Structure 1
Amino acid sequence: MTERPLRLLLVGEGGIAGVHMRVLGQVPGVEVTCLVGGVEADARAFAAEWGIPEVALDMDAALARDDIEAVILATPSPQHAAQAERVIAAGKHLLCEIPMALRLADAERITALAAASGRVCMVAHTRRFNAPHRELRRRLVAGEFRLQHLVSETYFFRRENRNMQGQPRRWVDNLLWHHACHSVDLFAWLLDDAELDVWGHQGPPHPELGIPMDLSLGLRSRGEVLATLALSFNNRGPSGGFYRYIGEETTLLASRDELRNHHGELLPLTGNGFADQDREFIAAIREGREPEASFVSCLPTMRLLDRLARQLA
């Protein structure tokens, strides 16, 4: 007997929504049934591009449908917490784009709701699924690699309010709660240590966007392993996240799904972080288990970000 397709609702028609559509096409037995958009013309163009049969603008009406079992929130960061609460209240499984919220109080509230829901509720902490970081965690757990210092660089050029595809954006991205969230979570996850010392400094706010364009953050584990995070929206050049693992045995360089040694030689790894992340969401639903990067497991990172935000303020 053929397994019934898992029917998904995608909310959002921006750049990251396209990433989800591309990788979901590699997952058998999954069907994106409907797209809830913010701008009708953009949503219809997106649905036509990816073959989504239905478009809606009313999220609550779409959530009321019995045939939709799970939701992917690929919307602007400021909307995540309120929309996640509505998805959980509707009894649907949820994959929420990072970050789950922009305030600790909101993160704690929706995590409590997620825990009580009995549904799979997961955050897109993609670094946990990128092949280089999974390999480093394996080596750390096995005692094959002793980390001394993780140096994380996150670079974009965002002096105009545009997304990763260069398209105009109607909301302002957040360097701490979104981009630093990836690396703070990665460090805590790698070492299984959420009781980190944290400190930081920020540059001046952009005169129009109203956000600091540069951050310098420091972390230290209970085992005295260091992490240094440099983040900038002012960088002209290669964009993305770059990680230098400085260890007792060697130094390794990670970027997306590639891992290189200190000579720059590519090390053999397989996997795609976005695809493996979305596969984990689907697998957790089908197997009735807690996913990697569940709301509960990501909440300690939000507490660390809150401590950093208070210091920076």
Structure 2
Amino acid sequence: MGAHLRQHPTDRGPANGDLHGSRTDNQPSGCRRVRDVRPEAARRRFFGCRRADDGSRESGQVDRRVVAGCWLLGAGGWGWLMGETMKICLAGTGAMGEIHVKALQKIAGVDIVAVASRTEESGNKFAEQWKIPFHSTDLQRCIDRPGVEAVILTTPSDQHADQTVMALAKGKHVQVEIPMSLNLRDAERIVDAAKRSGRICMVTHTRRFSSPHREIRKRIREGTFHLHHMVVETYFFRRTNLNMHGQPRSWVDSLLWHHGCHSIDLAYWILDEANFEVWGQQGPEHPSLGIPMDLTVAMKSRKGPLFSMAMSFNNKGPFGGFYRYIGEEETYKVYRDAMTDSEGKDVPLDGTPAFDRQDVEFASAIREGREPESSAQSCLPTMALLDRIDRVMQEGRVGQTGQARRVSQVVM
């Protein structure tokens, strides 16, 4: 999400590196390692040991300056070195760009050194406000700034796939805003590019990092909560092309592939289930925006739970995603980072904001050389579900003849 940016043809990335680091207690299960692309000198410093001229480790010779410079970020569980800053390029100066800046500024050892913008004016204003030393309307110039290790893309949804593939090919780790693409084919292209590059590619499936949804998932896995029905309402008032802050957009949002992606991913992630029966329908397209303004989606897990979602860009009133988890033991309601039970009582939760936890995970995965919790690979089943739902909706539109038409279930 964000502003349109110019982009040059992609280049090939650097050669493969070595593995580094070791598994930590708070590394998510099922993570795979990625190749370490830091210079050899940086890898030596990370382990805090001097090396002899022949490259062998000098036994017991730990550099005390390195030990003194180490720090630990509790939420991320990763140590780094004083003066060893992770340099990040941010693409996009819209609402999500600002959210990422605020989250990244809380992480020690991380510095935004360049921002790419749609216009010179917006870039200058954003860079001045957040004290970012370089800005340009040319994304590649920003990525090519000295020392840039990672890129965060908050650009328009239809640019995500090409920009992600380009940044990966240039040897950069990437965190791309949801959705990673607007079709399954491009999502698969991103996953392939990440595998070829050996770099980390993470998608901002922010609900995975939200304390209430994490708590629901934990209770289901522990067997203390048995889900019957997940009910989702997603509401916005978007009859004009404005973002969440009421500012004009240069691109048109997608109700299914963006906002629906959040909730479809939650169903998949919470239940660890991709084999849903799916059904969907959409209302008329907006005359000027050219997108359907209302959607209905239903899914049934082979494990039993149902998923029902109503979405609208026509709603006047409170906006956002409203979640109801109806279970055998209790019914929980979730809105943003708060959760209540059937009596309206607050459920005690870890108060870490989802956006903060998400960006810490990105930085941690890079430092630890592992796959992040919402890697592009782990989000691919969600994109496959969206593709199936989209096809059902399109088949329903084509088959309308003025009388009721049954839309066939699509089963994986």
Which of the five TM-score ranges fits, normalised by the shorter chain? Answer: over 0.9
Whichever residue aligns with residue 392 of structure 2, its letter is Q
Aligned to 1:65, the other structure's residue is in SS state: coil
How many residues are paired up? Answer: 313
State the partner residue of 1:155. Answer: 235
- Which of 308, 314, 336 is matched with 1:256 structurally? 336
Tell me, yes or no, if structure 1 residue 88 matches structure 2 residue 168: yes
Please list, as runs of the form range in 1=range in 2, the aligned pairs for 1:109-124 lying within 5 A after superposition: 109-124=189-204
Q: Check if 1:295 corresponds to 2:376.
A: yes
User: Is the 8 Å Cα contact of residues 171 and 199 (structure 2) preserved in structure 1?
Assistant: yes
Secondary structure class of the residue paired with 2:311: strand
**AA in 2 matched with 1:226:** L
SS of residue in 1 equivalent to 2:233: strand
Between the aligned partners of 1:110 and 1:249, the Cα distance in structure 2 is 40
Q: Confirm whether residue 284 of structure 1 aligns to residue 365 of structure 2.
A: yes
What is the distance in 2 between the residues matched to 1:143 and 1:54? 51
Q: Write the letter of the residue equivalent to 2:140.
A: D
1:194 is matched with which residue: 253, 267, 274? 274
In the aligned structure 2, how far is the partner of 1:66 from the partner of 1:105? 33
Choose which of 226, 234, 256 in structure 1 pairs with 2:314: 234
Instruction: Determine the structure 1 residue equivalent to 2:285.
Output: 205
Q: Following TM superposition, by how much is the alpha carbon of 1:97 offset from its aligned partner in structure 2, in angstroms?
A: 0.2
What amino acid is the match of 2:107?
V
2:260 aligned residue: 180
Deviation at 1:64, TM superposition (A): 2.6
SS of corresponding position for 2:148: coil
CA contact (8 A) 2:114 2:145 kept: no
Q: Which runs of 4+ in 1 moved over 3 A?
A: none
Shift of 1:110: 1.2
C-alpha contact 1:115 1:296 (8 A) present in aligned 2:
no
Matched residue SS, 1:290 = coil
Return the alpha-carbon distance in structure 2 between the equivalents of residues 267 and 50 of structure 1: 35
Q: Secondary structure at the match of 1:237?
A: coil
Seq. identity, %: 52
Q: Counterparts of 1:28 and 1:247 in 2: how far apart (Å)? A: 40
Give the AA of the match of 1:42. Answer: S
Tell me the equivalent position of 1:57: 137
Q: Does 1:130 align with 2:210?
A: yes
Q: Deviations along 1:259-303, whole A, 9 cap, x unmatched?
A: 111122111112211110110000000000000010100011111
Identify the residue that residue 183 of structure 2 maps to in structure 1. Answer: 103
CA deviation map 1:31-72 (0-9, x unaligned): 000101111111111111111111112112222334000000
Contact 1:244–1:252 (Cα < 8 Å) also in 2: yes
TM-score (norm 1): 0.98
SS in 1 for 2:213: helix
Query: Gapped runs of 5+ residues in structure 1?
Result: none
- Would you say 1:307 and 2:388 are equivalent positions? yes
Task: Give the distance between the partners of 1:241 and 1:39, measured in 2 at CA.
Answer: 31
Alpha-carbon RMSD: 0.9
- Write the distance in 2 (CA, Å) between the matches of 1:223 and 1:80: 33
Counterpart of 2:43? none
TM-score w.r.t. structure 2 length? 0.75
Q: Distance in 2 between matches of 1:12 and 1:292?
A: 23
2:241 touches 2:249 (CA, 8 Å); kept in 1?
yes
Q: Is the Cα–Cα contact under 8 Å of residues 245 and 252 in structure 1 kept in the other structure?
A: yes
1:29 aligns to 2:94 (yes or no): no
CA-to-partner distance for each residue in 1:59-89, whole Å, 9 max, x for gaps? 1222233400000001011110010011111
Distance 1:263 1:28 in 2: 41
CA distance in 1 between partners of 2:186 and 2:339 (Å): 35
Tell me the distance in 1 between the aligned counterparts of 2:388 and 2:255: 15
Q: What secondary structure sits across from 2:263 in the alignment?
A: helix
Q: Secondary structure at the match of 1:75?
A: coil
User: Residue 69 of structure 1 aligns to a residue in which SS?
Assistant: strand
**Conserved? CA contact 1:11–1:36, under 8 Å:** yes
Offset of residue 115 of structure 1: 1.9
Q: Which amino acid aligns with 1:122?
A: M
- Contact kept? 1:93, 1:120, Cα under 8 Å: yes
Distance in 2 between residues matched to 1:32 and 1:268, nearest whole Å: 34
Answer yes or no: is 1:5 the counterpart of 2:88.
Answer: no
